Structure 1
Amino acid sequence: MDNIAKLIFKNKRAKTENLLKTGFQKRGQQFVRQQPLLNQAFTLTVTVTLPDTILTELIDNETKQPYTLHLNANNTGDFVAKVREAYTNVLKTIATESFETDIFQTTQAHLLIQTCRKNYGDELEFLWQKFPENAIWRRSDTKKWYALLMKISKRKLGLDSDDLVTIVDFRLTAKQHDQLIDNQTFFPGYHMNKQHWFTVILDGSIPDTDLLQFLQTSYELAH
């Protein structure tokens, strides 16, 4: 994926039904869309492999060769700028119409999102413009938070790694606090009151059944 596409499709996930509605054709495991660019001067082919792999090819219709000058920001000139603008606008339209925002891409994050939607009717709330990878759930009746999703470095949890991970913060009882916190799998609440919240990494290190029970307990504690 080129740098323009990487920026546009960051934290995006394709939806099959939307791809089909917006001109993509299913070819095996891929979805392909072709369209003219700049008054038929070019043909742009966009190939999507679910969930989030995007490949593009821009062909100069006169030479029948791939055109790539627009992908290098150091290449200037009116014509290259027009190609870059047209190319960018098409990709932005595809990202808006055929993809959905998917910041938290782990399987367990998706499980929590689906469970909160189904069981409580709650959607993630992104409250901080400066921190687009932080979001919360709150009860609709009490307006109290019961979980937070974030992407942080493992090092911020005291682990010896700079790997970026998706974490969730839950409320917990005093008894849970004494039993759970081990700073390996269960951590004191990150950015929250460490006596009343705890953190886990959504990497499968705890079973889904336990994760959903923690969610339910946290929801009840936010009464």
Structure 2
Amino acid sequence: MQTRDDVIKYIKKQFDVEPDHPFKEYPQYLAFRHKDDQKWFALIMDVPKDRLGLDGTDEIDVLDVKVDPDVAGLLKQSKGYLPAYHMNKEHWITIVLGDVDSKQVQKMIKDSFKMTQ
């Protein structure tokens, strides 16, 4: 199972990147950026389920990553993948942490890192 802490540890180890807090009003949101040009490749947020089109109002941790637009359409048909929250819905996707296999989450982070270079 993939958690917020798992993702943070993975990104730190794999890319030597520390998260920053891009939104003052949401200090728990964590952006991960390339060191050279500061482009985002991942964003962790806790979002109420109803804002994501899910049942309930409790907050869940999600991860936004950049994806190929053709892949995004296919992924959104699978459990744990949603249209991107707070990002371009054609080029980004939201992953519900805990609903997607950790190896798949890691692969998607790597792909997002490459796509945003």
The two structures, once aligned, show a CA RMSD in angstroms of 1.6
Q: Is the counterpart of residue 211 in structure 1 residue 105 in structure 2?
A: yes
Q: What do the CA deviations read for 1:33-61 (whole angstroms, capped 9, x no partner)?
A: xxxxxxxxxxxxxxxxxxxxxxxxxxxxx
CA shift for structure 1 position 184: 4.5
CA shift for structure 1 position 112: 1.2
Partner of 2:87: 192
Whole-Å separation in 1 of the counterparts to 2:34 and 2:89: 21
Give the letter for the 1:211 counterpart: V
Q: Match for 2:43 among 127, 148, 171?
A: 148
Whole-Å separation in 2 of the counterparts to 1:131 and 1:183: 28
Partner of 2:17: 122
Moved runs in structure 1, 4+ residues, more than 4 A?
A: none
Q: RCO (CA 8 Å, sep 6+): is it higher in 1 or 2? A: 2
Q: How does 1:152-191 map to 2 (within 5 A)?
A: 152-182=47-77, 184-191=79-86
Q: What do the CA deviations read for 1:120-143 (whole angstroms, capped 9, x no partner)?
A: 110110122211121200011232
CA shift for structure 1 position 180: 0.7
Q: How does 1:94-105 map to 2 (within 5 A)?
A: none
CA contact (8 A) 1:137 1:147 kept: yes
What is the identity percentage for the equivalent residue pairs of Structure 1 and Structure 2? 26
Give the letter for the 2:8 counterpart: I
CA contact (8 A) 1:190 1:199 kept: yes
Structure 2 gap segments, 5+ residues each? none
Q: Choose 1 or 2 for highest CA Rg.
A: 1
Question: Please, what TM-score do these two structures have when normalized by structure 1?
Answer: 0.50
Question: Please, what TM-score do these two structures have when normalized by structure 2?
Answer: 0.92
Whole-Å separation in 1 of the counterparts to 2:16 and 2:112: 15
- Count of aligned pairs between the two proteins: 117
Whole-Å separation in 1 of the counterparts to 2:3 and 2:26: 21
